[in-house]
């Protein structure tokens, strides 16, 4: 399992979400990240999901 970091921000830069989670690979992490954003109603907020190696998986501004 790999560790991934999901963050979401308000337009002023304030963090709305700062959460780490585990996934088997980048594809699974992307799906988990999208589901977390949907559950927390943050899919349209500025967000990013990165792997522990720094690979950007999701980004929306």
Averaged pLDDT, groups of 10, the chain, 61 residues long: 97 96 98 98 97 96 93
Range of the domain at 32: 2-60
Q: How many domains does the chain have?
A: 1
**Residue 55 to residue 3: CA distance in whole angstroms:** 11
Distance of CA 3 to CAs 13, 15, 31, 39, 61, Å? 24, 20, 14, 20, 23
pLDDT at 30: 98
- Structure tokens of 24? 């088997």
Say which residues have a Cβ less than 8 Å from residue 59's Cβ, sequence separation at least 6.
47, 48, 49
pLDDT at 7: 98
The residues pairing with 2 across neighbouring beta strands, listed in sequence order, are 23
pTM greater than 0.75: yes
pLDDT at 29: 98
């Amino acid at each position: 399992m790999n560790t991934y970091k999901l963050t979401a921000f308000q337009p002023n830069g304030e963090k709305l979400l700062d959460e780490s989670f585990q996934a088997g690979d980048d594809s699974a992490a992307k799906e988990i990240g999208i589901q977390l954003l949907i559950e927390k109603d943050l899919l349209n907020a500025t967000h990013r999901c990165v792997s522990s190696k720094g690979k950007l998986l999701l980004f929306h501004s």
